[in-house]
Amino acid sequence: MRMNLFRLALKNIGSRRTRSWLTILGVLVGVTAVVALLSIGTGVQEAVLQQFEDIGYDIILISPMGARGQGMQAAGAFPTGGRIGSTGIGQPTETSETTTGGTFSPENLLSNDNEAEAEQTAQPQLEGMRDALRRSMASNLDAGLLLTQVSELTEAGTLGTEIHPVKADTASGFLRVSTPSVDFLEAFPSVLGGFEMAAGTGFTNPTENQVVVGARSAELLHLGIGDEITISGVPFTVVGILEASDTATEDGELDEADDGFLSGQSLTQNLGAAGSTDLVLSGLTNTDDSLFVLYERATEVLGGQTMMSVTITRVAPGASISETVDAINVAIGQQEASGTPTSIQEVADEIQGTLGLIETVLASIAAVALVVGGVGLMNTMYTAVLERTREIGILKSVGARDGQVMTLFLIDSGLMGLIGGVLGLILGSVLSLFGTRLLGPSLGVGSFAPVISAWLIGSVLAFSFVLGALSGAWPAWRASRLNPVDALAAE
């Protein structure tokens, strides 16, 4: 019997094609918006959390005292894109525009022809910033000692970062020099994307001036293994060139528009995450633009004791993160050093909470569109009851019960809701695929996929059917209560 009613309802939808499709369109738009926003939102969440997972939830970062909170200001002041002189290698030099805030990337290098002018312009500004950073960012924490003090820790290493004037044979400019300690490279290579060499051996001797170069830096500086460069005037030998990171395009060419450093930084900035820890971490998400010198060497020849640095530690399996953070605080006090421990878990939770909130707000807005679709459906069904009054009378005269008339109308509206739901699901999925491609780079999470879970599919379909049926409920009830004689008399 239900099957027969189902067929009759389908027949009715088919016979009022234009209006049915317009009604379905209303639901479709709402469902499309909900599906696209939810799947993209979940996709972003998962991609961001994956980045944290890659680093490891068992990691606690210790940033210099005072860096937390001020860190982002420092990051803004940090010459991430000190564009000095020309905008490209070999281009005519213009006057210095800024040393703060712009995009830092190796494209903004100088040809050596303009070197003297550039150094003259840049050096005082850089020194000024460096001094400011030294005051707040210098870490005097001994990572090795910390490891002996806090039994919950299994590994600890230091990673510093600083902008230095770098000069190669063909170009020069200011680049970020990251300084992982030997311990750091052994314990946390994944933090630096595995620190895999595309060429060369990597660091072999901490007492020699060796440098490992990021893929894009190597390409733009035209560096090969064994080449000599100077960092802050100190000569270094290139002993390794890193594999391009994930943010590079698949065909092996580096995507110049996608500045991993800036986008990673803006992500954490926008999400209100904490301090210089994030600055360093964000820098780690893209190793292409950096140069790498061992921390031990940098402290000797590049004044590394005063560079901005973080200590990264790994907590033993099973140990409590919060208790370990407490123990680290005690240890920092005992060392009479400064530092603020932040667990990756804590940062991830913070970001996940924010992302979840954004997703909820967006989904709520999309849900309004869905409700509007439901109101449209209700309007259509109400009109249909008025139009089909005589038909309702006919149905009753041939023996239709009140409940059957109601069921017929409910199936009718529920089906329109469901069709809108199915089509909205398909369209929303397609849109989310495009959306993630567009959003990925700007959110700094590289490429990511929308998450269209079985739960999302099931609940969207169920919800759209229920929305349709609910929207049709009142008109259907009204239809079922019509007096057959009155209904038959309707024109």
Partner 1 sequence: MLVLNDVHKTYRMGETEVHALRGVSFDLPPAQFAVIMGHSGSGKSTLMHLAGCLDVPTSGYVEYGGTNLTSLSSRARADFRYSDVGFVFQKYNLVGNLSAMENVALPLLLRATPARSAHEQAAAALAMVGLEDRAKHRPSKLSGGEQQRVAIARALVNDPSMILADEPTGNLDTATGDRILNLLQGLVARDKIVLVVTHNPEIAEMADLLVRLRDGQIESQRVQEVA
Which residues form the interface with partner 1 (CB under 8 A)? 1, 3-5, 7-8, 11-12, 14-16, 390-391, 393-404, 483-485, 488
Residue 230 in contact with residue 95, Cβ under 8 Å?
no
* Nearest distance, CB of residue 470 and partner 1, angstroms: 24
Q: Which is nearer to partner 1, 324 or 407 (CB)?
A: 407
Q: How far is the CB of 395 from partner 1 (least distance, A)?
A: 7
Gap between the Cα atoms of 332 and 146, Å rounded: 8
At its nearest, how many Å lie between partner 1 and the CB of residue 420? 21
Nearer to partner 1, 131 or 387 (CB): 387
Q: How far is the CB of 391 from partner 1 (least distance, A)?
A: 5
Taking each helix axis as running N to C, give the angle between helix 2-15 and helix 402-443, from 0 to 180 degrees, rounded to the nearest 10. Answer: 60
Nearer to partner 1, 199 or 490 (CB): 490
Minimum distance between the CB of residue 402 and partner 1, rounded to whole angstroms? Answer: 6
In the complex, least distance from residue 483 CB atom to partner 1, rounded to whole angstroms: 7
User: DSSP letter at 68?
Assistant: T
- Element (DSSP H or E) covering residue 237: strand 234-242
Which residues partner with 201 through β-bridges? Answer: none
Angle between helices 454-480 and 402-443 (to 10 degrees): 150
Shortest reach from residue 53's CB to partner 1, in Å:
55
CB of 469 to partner 1, least distance (A): 20
Q: Which is nearer to partner 1, 297 or 396 (CB)?
A: 396
Crossing angle of the two packed helices 402-443 and 260-270, in degrees rounded to 10: 130
429 neighbors 42 (Cβ within 8 angstroms)? no
Tell me whether residue 238 or residue 405 sits nearer to partner 1 (CB atom): 405
Between vectors from CA 256 to CA 251 and to CA 259, what angle results, nearest 5°?
115
Q: 199 vs 394, which CB is nearer to partner 1?
A: 394
CB neighbourhood size of 250 (10 A): 9
Q: Where are the alpha helices (DSSP H) in 56-174?
A: 71-77, 115-137, 143-149
Closest CA to 173 of 205, 139, 216, 142: 216
What is the C-alpha separation between 174 and 3, in angstroms, rounded?
A: 74
How near is the Cβ of 382 to partner 1 at its closest, in Å? Answer: 19
Least distance between partner 1 and beta carbon 423 (Å): 23
The nearer residue to partner 1, 12 or 161, going by C-beta atoms, is 12
In whole angstroms, what is the distance from residue 395 CA to residue 490 CA?
Answer: 14
User: In this complex, which beta carbon is closest to partner 1, that of residue 8 or of residue 77?
Assistant: 8
Both tokens of 46, joined, read 């998962």
Based on CB atoms, which residue is closest to partner 1, 343 or 404?
404
Beta bridge partners of 342: 61
Residue 414: HSE in the Cβ half-sphere, 13 Å Cα cutoff: 17
Tokens 């998400």, located at residue = 285
Cα separation, 468 vs 465, whole angstroms: 5
Task: Specify the amino acid at residue 412.
Answer: D
Choose between 245 and 407: whose C-beta lies nearer to partner 1.
Answer: 407
